[in-house]
Amino acid sequence: MLPFIRSDLGELSAYTPNPGGTPDEPAPISPDRLDANESPYDLPDELKQKQAWTYLQEIESNRYPDGTYTALKQAIAEYVCESAAPEPADNITPDRITAGNGSDELIRSLIIATCLRGEGSVLVANPTFSMYAILAETLGVPVVPVGRNPTNFEIDLAAAQLAIEKTQNPPVRAVFVVHPNSPTANALTPAELDWLRSLPPQILAVIDEAYFEFSRNTVAGELHRHPNWVILRTFSKGFRLAAHRIGYAIGNPELIAALEKIRLPYNLPSFTQAAALSALRHRQQLLASVPEIIAERDKLRDALAQMPALQVWPSDANFIYLRLKDAGGADALANITQQLRAGGTLVRHTGGGLRITVGTPDENARTIQRLQLLFSR
Ligand SMILES: *Cc1c(COP(=O)(O)O)cnc(C)c1O
């Protein structure tokens, strides 16, 4: 390795979400992309046309974007208040919002704001969203992993509590949870929520609601009682804007102010800001796809659950998590992933199971057919 590069980076590998083909395993031509939990539906044509018009008429490509995105924060705040109903969340004002280039950027900013300079470690419960640990490691921040109940994937709360009490030099400063979790698709349980409520003020609880539009579970109504909680959301899933890279955080104004200090200037391109504003304005139309995806999810889940080889869990999100009933282990799963890929369906092999995004009805039918074919051999 080049002698000026930080020594610990030698151990890390770059995140390759959609690996391209290799000579041995060429990438399928136009596969069903069910490996990243995106919406299967592009924006409606008329909204795309409006975006194109915005680009032509309103965006000056020689100018930096609005670096404060006041209008966007206001619109996000309104959406969050509305989405917290029936709990009162009218105290969610724009000073409680910051936006990032994907919520990935905000995850990194939160780790920088809490743990850098050897001041803190990050606690995660595996299997969970892999970016928390990846981003912490790239910043040289220690990750403290705990497990989950293998039946319902509830966090091992006794282990988590013990880890918090035992971890020193540096102590746990941030706990990352997903509501509902990825890849296991389960929402936080009452016991998990109580544990988050019990965390001491010097530990930040990051509650990632990336799948809120599907689950409708949110802790937004409770946020004002917990200065050490922050909610993350994204436009990449239910809002169908993954191409634009935008997520947001909702939290205590002092935490938001700290995140603003860390944020890169102009982190949100003008076109991204415009796309997010437009998506919020047309949210009824865009989110009309959510009940359809949920109905498809339930059909897909029922079909998968009938395959004797598979153990399939319930889902509060737009993806399904399953494992093999017989311990064929990681090799068998890797093999299935590879064969599905060769057949034209991309899924994610992670956390000892497969995570399959709910696609269009045609894509889901192909997923079922391709799996049936594999198990009939
Ligand atoms: C998809 C996802 C995100 C979204 O990340 P973006 O950077 O906003 O695209 C965040 N957290 C979880 C758990 C996710 O699954």
Report the separation in Å between the CA atom of 181 and the middle of ligand 1, taken as the mean of its atom positions: 11
Q: Residue-wise pLDDT tens for the chain (377 aa)?
A: 899 999 999 888 888 766 666 666 777 789 999 999 999 999 999 999 999 999 999 999 999 999 899 999 999 999 999 988 777 667 899 999 999 999 999 999 999 999 999 999 999 999 999 999 999 999 999 999 999 999 999 999 999 999 999 999 999 999 999 999 999 999 999 999 999 999 999 999 999 999 999 999 999 999 999 999 999 999 999 999 999 999 999 999 999 999 999 999 999 999 999 999 999 999 999 999 999 999 999 999 999 999 999 999 999 999 999 999 986 677 899 999 999 999 999 999 999 999 999 999 999 999 999 999 999 87
Long-range residue pairs from 192-199, CB within 8 A, at least 24 positions apart, any chain: 192/154, 192/155, 192/157, 193/219, 195/155, 195/157, 195/160, 195/161, 196/229, 197/226, 199/164, 199/175, 199/228
Task: Report which protein residue has its CA nearest ligand 1's atom 7.
Answer: 102
356: left (phi over 0), alpha (psi -120 to 50) or beta: beta
Report the separation in Å between the CA atom of 102 and the middle of ligand 1, taken as the mean of its atom positions: 7
Domains and CATH numbers, the chain: 31-43+288-376 (3.90.1150.10), 64-283 (3.40.640.10)
Burial class (CB in 10 A: 0-12, 13-18, 19+), 20: exposed
pTM as predicted? 0.96
For the CA of 37, the nearest atom of ligand 1:
1
Contacts of 142 (CB under 8 A, 6+ apart): 121, 122, 136, 170
Ligand 1 mutation pick, 217, 234, 244, 245, max ligand atoms within 8 A of CB: 234
129 lines ligand 1 (CB under 6 A): yes
252 lines ligand 1 (CB under 6 A): no
> How far is Cα 46 from Cα 52, in angstroms, rounded to an integer?
10
- Cβ atoms of 313 and 153 within 8 Å: the answer is yes
Residue linked to tokens 């918090």: 164
236 lines ligand 1 (CB under 6 A): yes
Task: Report which protein residue has its CA nearest ligand 1's atom 6.
Answer: 102
